[in-house]
Chain A
Amino acid sequence: MAITTDDKELLELFRDPSQRERAYTAIVKKYQEKIYWHVRRMVIDHDDAHDVVQNVFIKVWKSLDNFREDAKLYTWLYRIASNESLTFIEQQKKRQTVSFDGEQSGMADRLKADKDFDANKLEWKLQLAIQQLPEKQKLVFSLRYYDEMPYEDMSRILETSEGALKASYHHAVKKIEEYILNH
């Protein structure tokens, strides 16, 4: 029998111990790609994204009982994913600071290390431009440009006013434009 895809019904099933794993698997299947790509755009490397995504869904398993049903499940998932990505990036920066081999592999270097990287292609240039943005502005741009998310939902995820998000997106686009025109 096929399981429902409705968030509310999935949450009800999750609270039933006999259906818990089944409901959880359905939630992971429903959101894994969106969450993965959101994380991947932030951390760039597939293995890192894989680790972060696993951590996100383990947190979901642990916290889903306390999830307030008046919130949207997908904004809650994005919030966890955004926080986990930022934590991962922060840890990476600290590791690089204390590194003794002098290797400074920033996000741009990680992009260039991708097997498909092509500096002549505009879409890769765009990726390089995105990596010049501050982390939170990068999140705002990614959610709006790639996930096509309304400012209202972004406001819930990033706990920032819609006005501030619009301004942040505006600045991000201008910085990206400037980078592309100059490189």
Chain B
Amino acid sequence: MMMRGKSDIQVELESLSKEVSEIPVKQVFTVPEGYFDLLPELILDRIRAMEGEHEEEISSLSPLLAGISRKMPMSVPEGYFSEVRFPSETAAKSPSPVVSMPKNRFRLYAVAASLIAILGFGTLIYNMSQLQGSLDPLSVSKELPKVSEKEMDEFLSGFPDITVPEPIVVAGNPAEAEEMMRDIDEEGLKDFLSDQPEITPQKLN
């Protein structure tokens, strides 16, 4: 055990208080005779009793568990525990490595920003051209004549319940009909319609 010499401590004490330094360093308390001869065995007995109690408890709870070794099966890298330090010690003994940054950081950032801009703009242009191509009506009308009637029928048959409305056929010349309608007043029109058979609107699905 490393202990500093009495003189150092005595000198220090004298400088602090002459009165206290003059008091003899004497143990005033006493212990029962032979106390220190018995203490180690007394402590060991208590430890054995505690460990015995623990064994007894685990044996009564689970004899299977009591029979299994308590040795940890996991291993740690060699010398792991001898290298472990308290956080404060680690901080004091092994300072974190300092990584130096390039001095002209502005140039680095400018290059990185340019690359990002080029890549972003290129991606945007490419996506727009792809989108335009898929929506262009001209490309549809170009391709439509190439489709055969059979293929078209097959395509349309894939959509259920589609009824194509029959066109309403206006008899005669439309200009003539317009001329005829001009001189008919509202009353006459109602009479005309009442004489006609009922027209049911074509259902459109």
Contacts and interface: CB of A to CB of B under 8 A. Distances in A.
A174 interface: yes
Contacts of B24: 122-123
Interface in A1-51: 21, 24-25, 28-29, 32-33, 36-37, 40-41, 44, 46
Interface string B52-63: 000000000000
Contacts of A126: 20, 23
Nearest to A56: B43
B29 A123 contact: no
Interface string A108-134: 000000101000011110110000000
Interface residues of A, number: 48
B150 interface: no
Nearest to A151: B4
Contacts of B25: 145-146
B9 A145 contact: yes
A148 B27 contact: no
Interface of B: 1-4, 6, 9, 13, 16-17, 19-20, 23-32, 36, 39-44, 46-47, 50, 81-82, 84
10 contacts: A28-B39, A28-B43, A32-B40, A58-B47, A114-B29, A126-B20, A127-B28, A145-B13, A173-B13, A176-B17
